[in-house]
């Protein structure tokens, strides 16, 4: 297609084009469209394909014009993308357009986002601190105490229930008319704190006691807070407390394959040290990637940022029980959510693009054996059949995503192995993932 073009690279990986398609190319396309209409036109009194051209032009002039414009736009943009070797990440949008005439050129302006150019900073020999998470004796003892709590038993006690105890109750709702409904038997309630409305009203009761209590249940309906007041009749069947098992060799034997408490502690420490080693490397890599990102220029297209924000929203929605369709109706709140996620989305994209560029530059690839090994690890950790996992991944078309993730991991490993660590920062490996100072 004969055309003149002016291409401009705008900020944030946006490309704008100003195009003038020559009259001859426009008329050739128009003629092609007219012939298609002539072949398919159905008009009473004429056989298909035998309708006079003037009648076709008269009857379908608007459709012919619109289809000609559409085809000229499509072909000319496609030609420019190929000539300039652009890789769009958004559909081209026509921002200005002239009129289509038989005796003139056709001009238009369009813009689209492309994959950003990555001006990589030096990624070998980055100077950084090396993070080391250490496992303390207290951390091991904390894990032992968690095991004791996990294997604790509830035993009946005499006297009045207090915070920290458990009460076993029967209860039923009493209607304003005095009728009883929704009866429940032998419900075990933990009296966790005095701020809990139910616990507060059960504290001080003993086995055999009965009591009428009031519960105010607040809930959201149609974006409004509502309240439901329930009158309950409660009968206490038992009061219990948690009894921890004695900490000795028998305890270790009962809950594990070890023969003594000391052996159990050693096993736990070794397991924690493995975790701490993994988090040490992850934390150090995180800092290296942060430094590399600060040194590397990346202009992100708006399309990519919005797409990543959408992905993050769909990921967190089920975790936080967010109804996205409902959220979108509140434009202000929806925008607030998106704005809060933007820094995370930008970081995710920059990290991925930088690592992908390193992988490309270093010619890093993932073999079938490496992806199979990763799938096998996942299958074992989730106690699934390996072939079932593979089939699921094929159905979900997630095999390529896995290979991409492994390739990015290889790039980050390369950065880590070539880094220069000028100091060590020791952190306590706490219960929370990643540790705390």
CATH of the domain at 292: 1.10.3120
- Do 414 and 278 lie in one domain? The reply is yes
Mean pLDDT of the chain: 92
313 falls within a domain: no
CB of 165 within 8 A of CB of 196? no
- Do 384 and 282 lie in one domain? The reply is yes
- Do 60 and 158 lie in one domain? The reply is no
Burial class from Cβ neighbours inside 10 Å (0-12, 13-18, 19+) for residue 204 reads: exposed
Q: pLDDT tens, 215-240? A: 887 777 766 777 888 899 999 999 99
pLDDT of residue 433: 47
- Do 353 and 290 lie in one domain? The reply is yes
199 falls within a domain: yes
- Do 55 and 181 lie in one domain? The reply is no
Q: Is the pLDDT of residue 241 over 90?
A: yes
- Do 197 and 99 lie in one domain? The reply is no
Q: pLDDT tens, 32-79? A: 999 999 888 888 888 787 888 888 888 899 999 999 999 999 999 999
- Do 239 and 103 lie in one domain? The reply is no
- Do 235 and 266 lie in one domain? The reply is no
Question: What is the pTM assigned to this prediction?
Answer: 0.77
Residue 37, sorted as left (phi over 0), alpha (psi -120 to 50) or beta, turns out to be alpha
**CATH number of domain containing 190:** 3.10.50.30
Distance CA 154, CA 143 (A): 21
**CATH number of domain containing 67:** 3.30.70.1050
Q: pLDDT tens, 308-355? A: 999 999 999 999 888 898 889 889 999 999 999 999 999 999 999 999
Q: pLDDT tens, 181-199? A: 889 999 999 998 767 788 8
The parent domain of residue 292 ranges over 127-135+258-300+342-428
- Do 372 and 285 lie in one domain? The reply is yes
Mean pLDDT across 279-283? 96
- Do 219 and 262 lie in one domain? The reply is no
- How many CB atoms within 10 Å of residue 100? 19
Long-range contacts of 368-375 (CB under 8 A, 24+ apart): 370/406, 371/399, 371/402, 371/403, 371/406, 374/402, 374/406, 375/402
- Do 283 and 387 lie in one domain? The reply is yes
Q: How many domains does the chain have?
A: 3
């Amino acid at each position: 297609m004969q055309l003149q073009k002016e291409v401009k690279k705008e900020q944030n990986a946006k490309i704008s084009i100003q195009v003038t398609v020559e009259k001859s190319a426009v008329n050739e396309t128009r003629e092609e469209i007219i012939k298609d209409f002539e072949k398919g036109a159905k008009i009473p009194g004429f056989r298909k394909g035998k309708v006079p051209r003037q009648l076709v032009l008269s009857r379908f002039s608007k459709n012919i014009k619109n289809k000609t414009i559409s085809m000229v736009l499509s072909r000319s943009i496609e030609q420019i993308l190929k000539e300039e070797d652009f890789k769009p990440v958004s559909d081209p949008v026509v921002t200005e357009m002239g009129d289509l005439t038989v005796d003139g050129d056709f001009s238009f302006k369009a813009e689209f986002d492309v994959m950003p150019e990555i001006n990589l900073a030096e990624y070998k020999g980055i100077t950084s601190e090396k993070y080391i998470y250490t496992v303390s004796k207290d951390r091991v003892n904390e894990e032992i105490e968690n095991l004791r709590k996990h294997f604790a038993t509830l035993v009946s006690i005499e006297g009045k229930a207090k915070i920290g105890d458990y009460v076993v109750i029967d209860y039923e709702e009493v209607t304003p008319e005095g009728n009883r409904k929704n009866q429940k038997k032998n419900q075990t309630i933990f009296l966790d704190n005095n701020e809990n409305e139910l616990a507060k009203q059960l504290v001080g009761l003993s086995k055999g006691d009965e009591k009428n209590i009031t519960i105010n249940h607040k809930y959201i309906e149609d974006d409004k807070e509502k309240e439901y007041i329930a009158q309950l009749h409660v009968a206490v069947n038992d009061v219990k407390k948690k009894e921890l098992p004695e900490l000795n060799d028998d305890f270790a034997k009962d809950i594990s394959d070890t023969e003594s408490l000391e052996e159990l502690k050693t096993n736990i420490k070794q397991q924690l040290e493995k975790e701490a080693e993994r988090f040490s490397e992850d934390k150090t890599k995180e800092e290296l990637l942060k430094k590399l990102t600060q040194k590397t220029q990346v202009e992100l297209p708006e399309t990519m940022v919005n797409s990543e924000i959408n992905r993050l929203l769909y990921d967190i929605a089920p975790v936080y029980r967010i109804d996205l369709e409902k959220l979108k109706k509140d434009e202000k709140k929806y925008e607030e959510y998106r704005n809060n996620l933007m820094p995370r989305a930008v970081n995710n994209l920059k990290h991925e693009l930088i690592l992908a560029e390193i992988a490309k530059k270093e010619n890093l690839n993932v073999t079938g054996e490496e992806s199979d090994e990763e799938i096998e690890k996942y299958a074992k950790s989730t106690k699934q059949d390996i072939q079932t996992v593979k089939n699921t991944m094929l159905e979900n078309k997630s095999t390529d995503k896995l290979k991409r993730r492994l390739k990015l991991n290889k790039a980050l490993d390369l950065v880590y192995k070539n880094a220069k660590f000028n100091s060590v920062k020791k952190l306590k490996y706490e219960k929370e993932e990643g540790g705390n100072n």
